[in-house]
Chain A
Amino acid sequence: MSASGEKADSIRLPLRFSHCQLLKRFLPCSPPYTIASPVKPTARDLRTPQLQLGNMNKCEENKSWEIIHIPDKPPFPLHQQPTVKVYAAVIDPKHANTLVRKLNKILPLENLHHVKRVRKQDLNEGCIHLSVILCLACESESQLDNIPQEVVELINSYKLETFITKVCKYAPLSKEEWIEQCKIWPTSYHPPTYNIRGITGFSEEESNSVCTFMKQALDLAKCECQMMNAAIIIDPSTNEVIAEARDQVNSCSCCSINHEATSQNHDKLVLNSSATKPELLNYGNGVSCLNPWKWFNQKSCSWHPLRHAAIVAIENSSVRDKLLFHGNEHVADNLDETNHLLKKQKIKSIHVNDDEEVVNSQSNGRPYLCTGYDIYLVWEPCTMCAMALVHQRVKRIFYAFPNKSDGALGSVHRLQGEKSLNHHYAVFRVMLPQESFDECLM
């Protein structure tokens, strides 16, 4: 699949979001902060107290923090939702039930479960017109030769006249999208009813802890010599910090995590108020996920091209796991890959216990990898880190700044929407008070 096709929301994403009235939750203690325009930062902007990220206890004062869900598919303008071509036919209402039953059996609409098979059109004076979707059509050609044989038989025996029409490719995310979609071909809309992962919003308590942990990550990301990416893995059921890490791609003695230095010396965590833009640009160079191909260009004492913050945090969490559950070694059930290959080979497979809920808590209380845990990252992870978080089964990812060069969770790729992966996390962006803040960092 070409990734360039999925290029979507960048820094301006939130604006589009609010425009589309997609899922968006403001932190408590509103009034909600609205972003007027992505203003270029000025020296005055940089001096505003809101940018002082070190104040851990003032979440309620950060009126403008907001948490935005980054969905599986890129947001599309209401009137430009992607469509796919299908073969359809007008049918006699008498045959509707039989035909739909037969079609659903021989050719269910894979990946188009939101699309209704039958369209009912009320023409003039109670004359009802029924059309049914037969099968997917080739996007380029209009020939009938790609229709499966069984469908051709149905066409012949019911003397159907086929035509090509369009249906919306993705399920609607909002009522507005649904109304637009139905103008093309009817779809069904299921408003989200669950709130397991915060997709439909966060409680005040949870918003506050998200805010607190993101601040902790921001504190961690800033060291004396450079700005780096930082990662903190949290068990949200207890708010316990499972692991934390900074980038170790290029580090100096000051970069190793020192809790006293990071949590007490707030002056160091605030961007130098007299900093000008050229100086600020250097900050982004140290962020591994932003510059994964340029690791050798920086001066440092110790280095490793692949030790991005998320990778190191995962390693730290696995070390903790081994220490805590020493002597409880067992064969992990990471067999999905094998299982999948076998299915491909058409070998009948035995049931594999890879269900998240089942492996979540083993009898000894040992979690399966990072199942159920959240990770806070200052920058949107690169493809390597984002995939590492799939492998380690992280439940939710929160990041503050988008990564335009290699971001895998919405900016360049969108791994949370890759259906083939064996695990899917929910992704959120935590918006800082000033939309332009990240621009000046990069």
Chain B
Amino acid sequence: MICLSELRHQYYKFASVHIKMGEEMPEIVAFMKLALEQAKIAFDNLEVPVGCVIVMDEKVISCGRNRTNETRNATRHAEMEAIDGLLEEWKEKGLTKHEVVEMFSKCYLYVTCEPCIMCASALSFIGIKEVYYGCANDKFGGCGSILSLHTNTTTSDSGEDVGRKSYKCTGGIMGEEAVSLFRNFYELGNPNAPKPHRQPIQQP
């Protein structure tokens, strides 16, 4: 069996920034499906449907979904939830800061929508290895749409090395599925529309 890193290597040959449907590698699609599952849970909880999973050594080690309405905190995006979950777990296990840095540098994030400027920054701060996303976010996107925080081309105003970290970022993975979730959410969630008949599904 061909190993994942080898597959990724082949895949890079044709993946630039956005890739067309059907060209994705099966692993990437499989992980994005799990991220979409998270987005659906957000949807069922009347949240803007964005979800993500964090993968290390080909295993999902964390997941997150948008919880901005529930928390009344508009910064509780899926990515922040997934990162905080990992940090909590790793700290409980007694990992040191440097071990945590080492762990993050092996992590892949799969998220249904391009990380916003806040999350794209956070992903750079923790030093994630790589990001795959579904649809672009041309209102808030921090991985190419509005700003390019995944690259380290930005220089600080003082010109000194601030230790900026870059990560590879690939968009367009099952983007249509992500957008159709947004569309459904919008139709149901519109506060001016009649209240949805379904009950919010409680998370187990």
Contact = CB atoms under 8 A, between A and B. Distances in A.
Interface string A283-324: 000000001111110000001111000010011001001100
A342 B69 CA distance: 20
Interface stretch (B4-12, B14-22, B121-129): B121-129
Given A7-B155, A392-B75, A296 B186 contact: no
A369 B183 CA distance: 24
B158 A369 contact: no
B125 A420 contact: no
Interface in A366-405: 369, 382-388, 390-393, 402, 404-405
Interface stretch (A23-31, A98-106, A406-414, A429-437): A406-414
A119 B202 CA distance: 64
Interface string B185-204: 11001111100000000000
Nearest to A350: B190
B70 to A, nearest CB: 8
B122 A306 contact: yes
B74 interface: yes
Contacts of B60: none
A420 B73 contact: no
A391 B157 contact: no
A338 interface: yes
A303 to B, nearest CB: 6
A304 B137 CA distance: 27
Interface residues of A, number: 67
A17 to B, nearest CB: 16
Contacts of B80: 306
Contact of B191 (A306, A333, A413): A333
A127 interface: no
A422 B68 CA distance: 16
Contacts of A314: 73-75
Interface of B: 46, 48, 68-69, 71-75, 80, 83-84, 87, 97-98, 100-101, 116-118, 120-122, 124-127, 135, 137-140, 142, 146-149, 153-158, 160, 162-165, 179, 182-183, 185-186, 189-193
Given A294-B162, A341-B135, A349-B186, 13 more contacts: A4-B153, A293-B164, A295-B97, A315-B73, A331-B69, A332-B68, A335-B191, A353-B191, A384-B121, A385-B118, A388-B74, A418-B147, A422-B140
